[in-house]
Every structure is written in C-alpha cells, then in structure tokens.
C-alpha cells in the first residue's frame, strides 16, 4: 500500500432528467454541478458549493468555485497527495473543468489522478460501479441513495441530504482504494450476483493507464470506445503526456 496521502473527489450534477434504460448519460451533457466533495482517507472532508447572499446553497456551482477545486487538487498533487475518483477521468474532473472553463488544468489533474474504474476498464474492457466493488471488497459503508436522486433533491432544497451523500461517496472511494491496494485486486459483484476478481498489482496514475494498449473487446456486441474516457482532454495536454 502506498504511504502517500490519499484524497478522493466526487461531484453531483445539478441537471434534472430521467435516464431511460440503456441510455447514455452523455446524451444529456453538458452538465452543471450542484455540489462537490473532497475527502482525505485520514478523515477530513469538505463540501464545495456556491451560496447566495443569505448563505443558502445555490442550485448551480459558480465558475469561481469550480476553479478553486481544480487549483486545490492540482496543488495537492504537486505536494505528493494522490487524488482519486471513481470514473473521475471520464466524469468528475471533466465536468469540474467544464464549469471552471479550464479544460487544460482539468485534463492535467485528470491524467495525474488515480481512477481505479479506468484501470479496471483497461484490464477488462467494460466498466463497473463503485457500489458493486465496494460490496465485494467488504466495505461496510453504503451509498445513501442512487446518484440519479441527487439533482432533484438539491433542486427541492434538500441540501443537507445531498451533501451527506456526496461526502459519503468520497469516503467510500477512499475505503475502496485502500481495500484494492491491500488485496492487490479488484473484486466486484457480477451480473450473475457472484463475486469476480481482477488482479491489480498496483494502482497507476491515469496517464500510465492510458499509455497501455486498449483492452480486448472482440467478444463484445456493443463495446464502449476507450477513447470516450479521455477524448475531452485537450490534445496539447495528451501529447505532452505521450498519450495518443
């Protein structure tokens, strides 16, 4: 297990919509952010959101707030802290960058981040949810709700519940990362309800994962294009990281 400090990040989008079965979430993009959370594995957590003049949470995070998150994460990375997010390269860091209007810095943070889901996808060719991995890895803490509920709850003013939910997600992510490193594998509950296992010698920063060959998806009927996870990152940032 790495001795470097670990901090996870997670966001909740503000956009309210009903996702149809098998529909791609990106059909509704671009996304606004309602609230984000960062949390050290050692315990300290923080919720990030924008407030009005009466200090009440606003529905949408402001550009300045998102920019602060990016600067915070980048500074921590410079100091040697491992920033992690489950599917963070494809989702969380992308949309923080969008709201901050700074895709360059978001891309740089994303490539230096640790994304166990991305590493799993590169090994197996398909994604897996944090909840299914947490359950199989023996993480006791559970998600407080389904992520699709958060935007409507926030819109209706149930800010406390959503804040607790997003903080819970970073806590779960930290616990899952530590469990993966301890077990040297990712276990998950598969579609049959059984536990499956993928060996993981060590967790790698995203730029090292993305330099590896694409996963074998020849057996799939409708494979996900691996480039979908990182094609939002500016080409100049990708070239500098030696990623095609």
Read off the CATH number of the domain in which 234 is found. Answer: 3.30.420.10
Range of the domain at 35: 6-240
Helix 159-183, helix 116-124: angle, nearest 10: 50
Domain count, the chain: 1
Q: For 191-206, b where at least 16 C-beta lie within 10 A, e where not — what string?
A: eeeeebeeebeebbbb
Are the C-beta atoms of residues 190 and 196 closer than 8 Å to each other?
yes
* Predicted TM-score (pTM) above 0.85: yes
Residue at 1 is within a domain: no
Flag whether pLDDT at 145 surpasses 90: no
Between strands 195-199 and 33-40, the pairing is unpaired
Residue at 212 is within a domain: yes
Summarised one tens digit per residue, pLDDT across range 54-100 is 999 999 999 999 999 999 999 999 999 999 999 999 999 999 999 99
Read off the pLDDT band of 157 (50, 70, 90).
very high
As to burial, measured by CB atoms within 10 angstroms (0-12 exposed, 13-18 middle, 19+ buried), residue 224 is: middle
Residue at 151 is within a domain: yes
Rounded to a whole number of angstroms, the CA Rg of the chain reads: 17
Task: Return the percentage of the chain with pLDDT > 90, whole number.
Answer: 91
120 in helix, strand or coil? helix
């Amino acid at each position: 297990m790495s001795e470097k400090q670990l901090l996870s990040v997670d966001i909740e989008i503000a956009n309210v919509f009903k996702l149809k079965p098998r529909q791609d979430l990106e059909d509704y993009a671009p996304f606004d952010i309602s609230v984000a959370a960062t949390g050290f594995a050692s315990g300290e957590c923080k919720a990030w959101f924008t407030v009005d003049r009466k200090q009440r949470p606003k529905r949408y995070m402001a550009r300045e707030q998102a920019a602060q998150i990016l600067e915070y994460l980048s500074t921590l990375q410079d100091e040697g802290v491992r920033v992690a997010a489950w599917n963070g390269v494809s989702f969380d860091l992308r949309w923080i960058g969008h709201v901050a209007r700074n895709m360059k810095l978001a891309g740089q943070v994303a490539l230096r981040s640790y994304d166990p889901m991305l590493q799993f996808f590169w090994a197996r060719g398909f994604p897996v949810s944090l909840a299914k991995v947490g359950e199989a890895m023996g993480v006791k803490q559970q998600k407080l709700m389904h992520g699709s509920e958060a935007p409507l709850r926030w819109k209706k003013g149930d800010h406390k519940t959503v804040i607790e939910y997003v903080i819970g997600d970073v806590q779960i992510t930290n616990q899952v990362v530590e469990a993966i490193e301890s077990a040297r594998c990712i276990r998950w509950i598969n579609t049959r309800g059984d536990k499956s296992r993928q060996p993981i010698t060590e967790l790698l920063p995203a730029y090292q994962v993305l330099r590896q060959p694409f996963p074998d998806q020849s057996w799939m009927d409708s494979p996900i294009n691996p480039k979908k996870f990182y094609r939002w990152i500016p080409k100049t940032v990708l070239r500098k990281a030696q990623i095609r």
